[in-house]
Structure 1
């Protein structure tokens, strides 16, 4: 559930030789929206791995410039409605995805089961939910939620989406029949805002959006987030 279907069907992605974010054309979203809300999960231990993930040296949201600019437009439009985005993950280094695969293969590590996959056996995660290539590594995908703010645009609170970020299970599916009407309405608000900005949702995850067309559909990157 961490990975959308690849943009190509007949060829594997090419790994970029870029060694830095600048070489890859990745920009920090805070260069465009300095006060955007971020909770970059893989830079810390509050994630399904239970530890900082390889490649995340700082809690930053990096994206290829077209995706960053599109996301900034979504944020600015939402602020007119007293709403804001909160970002969980953006560009994801290929080495981070490899870390996920290693974690999924270690069936003895069950530390995060209660929070992230309470209804599944960990052995079911590799393949169905975690694969060796992630669309996030292409630099045009974001994981995020929607916050409601007060009339002054302050004191923003995340809306109830039915699950936390990176919940492994069908309740995380955007149109899951298990979600309540209020949760569906909140997911619809997020989807409408993101679609207006040119992003498409991955149906398995209410939080996962990719810019369409992708800026780099056949190239993945492995530069660190720093």
Structure 2
């Protein structure tokens, strides 16, 4: 017979055991293997940094500006920064599109009109330093294709651009030939082309002329801003990333 003073301790132990059995059921081996612990998965939301574009307000008309600093609504395929051009050589150290401020204002206005119709301007070439004109002349010394650098071209003045159109989804519009195709098929007055191509060229030419540009008869892609015809030939050079 157990001593009386051990009885209270025995009752307390039995009471604790009963509570544990009620609140924590014993798991068999199968249950232990099938239990999973669910944890919340936290997905980080990327922070989209808003790009702040510069304003042309207050800039002198002859100031050289980088088009990409003033709008994100243009597209670029700057061919002379690659070997994919009629020279078959790269003549720019890096691809950039600069113009005079007055030219940039006209381009922004023209592009706004194109975007209302579901298109945007794509640049093939913009301002061209006169030193690059000399490089091109050395490769192809033919005034039919390259302006003599001694006189320079309106490209060297920051008043000319070579462009096409693409949809807002990035599909280039069919203009009948590639950029820098030197032949009758690229002429503005060549009407022996499919109606779609003629309509595309008409849209490009009509809109650019509305904003003060004029075209060259033999090149559907080339546009000069009339107001910059008397600007000086320049050799401003932009910085390239190291």
TM-score between both structures, scaled by the size of structure 2:
0.68
1:127 is displaced (CA, Å) by 2.6
Q: Which residue, 123, 128, 151 being the options, matches 1:87? A: 123
Q: Distance in 2 between matches of 1:128 and 1:210?
A: 17
1:49 is displaced (CA, Å) by 1.6
Q: Distance in 1 between matches of 2:184 and 2:132?
A: 24
Q: Which residue, 185, 205, 216 being the options, matches 1:171? A: 185
1:148 is displaced (CA, Å) by 2.6
1:177 is displaced (CA, Å) by 3.5
Residue matched to 2:145: 129
Residue matched to 2:40: none
Residue matched to 1:217: 230
RMSD: 1.8
1:164 is displaced (CA, Å) by 0.4
SS at match of 2:227: coil
* Unmatched segments (≥5 aa) in structure 2: 1-59
Higher relative contact order (CA 8 A, sep 6+): 1
Asked whether the equivalents of residues 64 and 101 of structure 2 are also in contact (C-alpha less than 8 Å), the reply is: yes
Q: How many residues are paired up?
A: 176
Tell me which structure has the larger Cα radius of gyration: 2
Asked whether the equivalents of residues 84 and 146 of structure 1 are also in contact (C-alpha less than 8 Å), the reply is: yes
Asked whether the equivalents of residues 73 and 120 of structure 2 are also in contact (C-alpha less than 8 Å), the reply is: no
Q: Which residue, 197, 211, 226 being the options, matches 1:183? A: 197
Q: Which residue, 121, 143, 157 being the options, matches 1:138? A: 157
Q: Distance in 2 between matches of 1:141 and 1:191?
A: 14
